[in-house]
Structure 1
Amino acid sequence: MRALIVDDEARVRKAVQLLVDWDKHGIREVREANGGNEAIEIIKQFRPQLVIMDMMMGSGHGLELMAWVYEHASNTKFIVVSGHDDFDFVRSAVRHGGVDYILKPIDPEAINTAVRKAVDGWRLEEAERADQQLLNIRLNEFKPLYDEKLLSSLIDDPGSAEGALGKLRKEGLIPTGLEEACLLIARIDPGDSLLQQKFGHNGELLLFAFINICNEFLLAHRQGIAFKHLGGPQEIVLLVWSSDRNIAELIEQINQGLFVTLQRRLHFGAGSAGPLPHSLPKQYTEAGLALRRRNLLRPDEYMHRAEIQHQSNSAFGRHSLGKLQEEWKLAVQSADDDRITLAASKWFDEQLRLGVITPELLTAWKNEVMAFRARTIQDVLGHQADSLLADSEYENEDTGDTDAPLPENYTFSKYAWIDWTVGVLAGLSRLFSRHLTRDKDTISEIVHYIEQNYQSNIALQDIAAQFYVSREYVSRKFKQTFGINFSDYLAKYRIDKAKLLMSNPHLKLQDVAELVGFRDVKYFSKVFKKQEGLSPREYKESRAIMQ
């Protein structure tokens, strides 16, 4: 701490210096002034926490010094040392914040007690000031969040919108007499990697910079306010008081400011102006729709209104996506790269011819491609879909959603979208080709197993367990490969082997049946007749006649 002794008598100043135990009170620096005028100059530079002063001085009256300290250095504590036991002086000292009034000659105990009291008081008040400063800092940190919460609730919480509007009017953020406003939305380009890098990939800082620039134009001319919508990440909402005819001009000015500062411009979607606060949720929906339906082939148009956007954006648009899926399926099955590229390009070529590509259509395209992928995998792989896709052998074939361009990007690249689509379709083609190869190998192994074990009691469940596949898989693949189900294939193989054995005259019918895997000769005869149209005995007799 620092202290200043003010008295026009040097001996009094010397006495104070000697009588006060400065170290005990934590006071490290002590200076002197011979009058009030000199004291004021020293206080401006030295900024003492304690002033010990005389009331009657030739250069600057003590009362004048107290008044100046009270006005310009109100945190400073002072002790009056005077030779006059005057009630008016005491009252003046107390009124101006003096801690104590000591009469000359100075008593050591009295002045040390007064100094201790002054120091303790200053430290207590300093702690309170520090707490208040910290509270103010926190309030300043939370106030923007509080304001954003109130402003966002105008959109997201109609039930509390009237109350929020009243608070915002009291805060001065929305003019008291304003009854109508227009809401606009802007979203920062998610594909602008250079801009993200410039802000250290700190999305909050990036958004803060854009909002500040918008508010430089809005608040300066009392035309509106920009804020972060807490319900939409990387989303800026503008409430504008200007009339509709001035909004386009205002957006142009804001974008010019953004370009000068950040070399970027924003696309704004606007709702239809309406009364506060009840029209804002509808305006927000309209503004979002306007952004989703903006034509990406016109990148220099930055103002978008829902009511003038294309209805579903084109006659071709979304309705044609489903028609393409049969072509996608044929292209995937063909495993022909050129055919896959042609199938992936067709929709984009048509949309470019019509002159309309929008984020809404790109989102629909992306969803259609991914739905086709999932559906086709399920159709082809069936119950094996999950296990095969998890298999490391297929990891590199799994081109999926994370690789897709973002529909919300400010720039549209036909080639990026086609490349992604080709990647998905080509990945499917490779996946199915490998699966078919694996299927053929599996079926070949099953057939070989049957040839080696047909004499045993083989059931469909045994085959499935032997080759770690399902019964349904075996049945389906036998049907696809041989045109008959598994049980018919096994029966046919056994009967063909039985026909060879029946040429041996020494083997009885019972022996033949058992040798080819039938334990019941009657059942053997039934199956034989079903396949050959003759009973085993009739077949054997016909063979004898032919020989």
Structure 2
Amino acid sequence: MYQLLIVDDERHVVERLAGTMDWESLGIETVHRAYSAQEAITLLHTTTIDIIITDIQMPGMTGLELIAIVRRKWAKTRCILLSGFADFSYAQEAIQHGTADYLLKPVSEEQVRDTVQRVLQQIQAEWAELVSGQRIQLTLKENLPLLKGSLLNELLQGRRYPGEEWERKMLELGIPSFHHSPFAMVMVRMEEQFLHYDARSLSLFEYAVGNIAEELFSPQYEIWHSKDSHDYLVFMLKLRTESTEIEEWQQHLERTSSELQKAVTTYLKGKISVLVSTWGQFPDDVTTVYNQALSLFRKRIGSEHNLFMTTKEDEAPKESHRTLQHLYELPTLTQLLETGRWSEVEEKLIGVFKELNEQWSQSQEHVLEVFFAVSAAFSYITHKNGRQLAELIGPDYYKMTEGLPFRSASLLRDWSLRVLGQLKADMDKEVNDARSSIVHRVQQFVEQNLSEDVSLQTIADHIYLHPVYLSKIYKLETKQNITDYVFQLRMEKAAYLLKNSQDKIYEIAEKMGYQRAHSFIHVFKKHYGVTPQEFRDQQI
């Protein structure tokens, strides 16, 4: 949906164009009003406008000067000029300098509609070209290393996708298929001299290490690498040829990794520590192999520098001490709660308790681990919203403090899902109450200022909200645009005054915010099918 701005120092022109046409049928979501070029610029700083219709001759700043500023600051915004016959030469000059079109006063609604529709088609064609396959492929190519690294990081941190989705994502990024293949990891930690460089210089050295690794490993291995969240360089490797002699290839991998360490020392004049993992199966073993390598880096290498280490099979974590994988996989409970993805939070909890029940139901320590993680996530999101968990969940909070939920996995599951439901209901109510309050404040302001400026920008300024956000929230709650509400209220109040007062037509027009009675008569007839006087006569 598009945003339109009409700019003219003659208020009746703005009101007639904004209030009497079926803009929604053209795909125009909101019609904004401005009565000077300066007012238009103020609005452009806060609102994304797609099309501007502006008069040329205005006090202070002309429409041509406005267009020059728009072209410099908001190049995607298209401008349509409104000009009188005497200004026609100016309009022609403006078109030569990039103005989308012009309309010659007096202008009919059909002319306005046709011109705006034509400009919208130009905008759509421009965006269609922008998102064409060729442009997307070029952008993808430019950002390919970053996208590849991000996907690997998701995998390392436990993000789960269905197998076919992994294959699709890897294919799109030109990553060799690791699916259902044995893989190994080589992890590199930059040390000593490298740590004294600034972030940009360090990233160049990391890039160089990646190039050296590509050169050394690529003859025998497919390689996919990234920098992880702990600042290690992680290289995932898969043999280019199928082989069952993993032990032989392990020796080759260790020898090549040692060459990498030596090459960095020789050519980059810096030290690195290197760890070579055991082999696993993609994608099921990725997180396990990665976490095992992290653990060994922490336990066996620690703060020592320039070490080389390999992982042995007997160093794998013992089954009885393994963590709950699903609990820590991305996205985390906290991330899901922060973005309000309630159904996904519920799915994650169900997955966590399924794993807990199948593998660790007899382990009180694992049940306690889940309790601490879940209750911490619930407390975090509640406190972040400025609330107290105790006031939201009542008796369930005191069950938590008394330790009742974690006496068994089933009790904890019931407690967690019940508290989740309470949090969702409370936050839904808070959102609804806030939106209802916004609608009430808008309608109250409009009713009290109907004869004054009740444009979207003025209303937004009054209640301290961004006009685009305000417009969307109002429509979500009322199924009606703010501008439609203002127009409807004006027509209803005008009809009431025509029935129940002796005010003259021009006086009623002024009370409804119309500077000229002619504009009021025009829109009233279009709405009710009769002129104001005819409407009044029918009441006798």
The reply to whether TM is greater than 0.5 is: no
Considering Cα pairs closer than 8 Å and 6+ residues apart, tell me whether 1 or 2 has the greater RCO: 2
